[in-house]
Structure 1
Amino acid sequence: MNTPEWLKPGIYGALMGAAFIGIVGFSWGGWMTGGGANKMANAMAHDEVIAALVPVCLDMSRTDNERVAKLAAIREAATYKRRDAVMATGWATVPGSDAPNRDLAKACIEGLKLDAS
């Protein structure tokens, strides 16, 4: 197919413009793929579920008969081992689950610090 000479600059301009718009849109325009949007939505949902479960963890800590001893053990643990200490208390185990949730334990530590002071 022979393209007229006067049409070639228009075709090149359209192709370069489309590439430029795509690059700018995905880089600075806030565009994203469906997979990226799905990943972001799952992360947001996970964070919201953990935030909703923190009161359950704090309530379990308040009603625990061994609260004082367990809080002392958590405070005595090194900073990087406090999450494991909260998991060992059972406060980070969601009702209906067999294993403690690491993210919930981390969020519960922050609530316990506020609750303990």
Structure 2
Amino acid sequence: MTTPEWLKPGIYGALLGGAFVGIVGFSWGGWVTGSNAEKMASEMAEDRVIAALVPFCLDMSRTDEERIAKLATIREASSFRQRDAVMETGWTTMPGAEGPNRDLAQACIEGLDLDAS
């Protein structure tokens, strides 16, 4: 099929316009693919769950009979090992979970008063 000469500029314009709109939309327009949106939603949900569980961790630390000794162990640990020390206390293991949660341990460190004597 032959395309009339008068129609070719319109076809080229539509193709270039579509490409331009796509590039601008994904670059500056805030458009995302479905998989990227799902990934962002999953990360946001996980962050919110961790934030909701921090009071649980802090409450576990307050009611622990060995709190003073465990806090001393956490304080003595280097800054990059404190998360592991908090995980070893058992304060970041949720009921029904197989093990401690690393992200919760990191968030719990911020809530613990490690600077107090």
Normalising to structure 1: TM-score of the pair? 0.95
Q: 1:102 maps to what in 2?
A: 102
Partner residue in 2 for 1:49: 49
- CA change 1:114–1:52 in 2 (3 A) is farther
Once the two structures are superposed, the pairs formed by residues 34-45 of structure 1 within 5 Å of their partners are 34-45=34-45
Root-mean-square deviation (Å)? 1.4
What residue in structure 2 maps to residue 112 of structure 1? 112
Shift of residue 116, structure 1, vs aligned partner: 4.6
Is structure 2 residue 10 aligned with structure 1 residue 13? no
Q: 2: CA distance between counterparts of 1:114 and 1:15?
A: 61
Distance in structure 1 (CA, Å) of the matches to 2:13 and 2:98: 61
Q: CA deviation at 1:96?
A: 1.8
1:83-109 CA-to-partner distances (Å, cap 9, x unmatched) read 000000001111221300000000000
Rounded to whole Å, the distance in 1 between the matches of 2:114 and 2:66 is: 19
| Aligned equivalents of 2:116, 2:9: Cα separation in 1 | 71
Q: Which SS does the other structure have where 2:80 is aligned?
A: helix
- When normalised by structure 2's length, the TM-score is 0.95
**Higher-helix-fraction structure:** 1
Confirm whether residue 93 of structure 1 aligns to residue 90 of structure 2.
no
- Extract unaligned runs of 5+ from structure 2: none
From the superposition, tell whether residues 41 and 52 of structure 1 become closer, same or farther in structure 2 (CA, over 3 Å): same
5+ residue gaps, structure 1: none
| Secondary structure in structure 2 of the residue aligned to 1:80 | coil
Kindly indicate whether residue 66 of structure 2 is the aligned counterpart of residue 70 of structure 1.
no
Counting matched residue pairs gives 117
Q: Is the 8 A contact 2:58 2:111 kept in 1?
A: yes
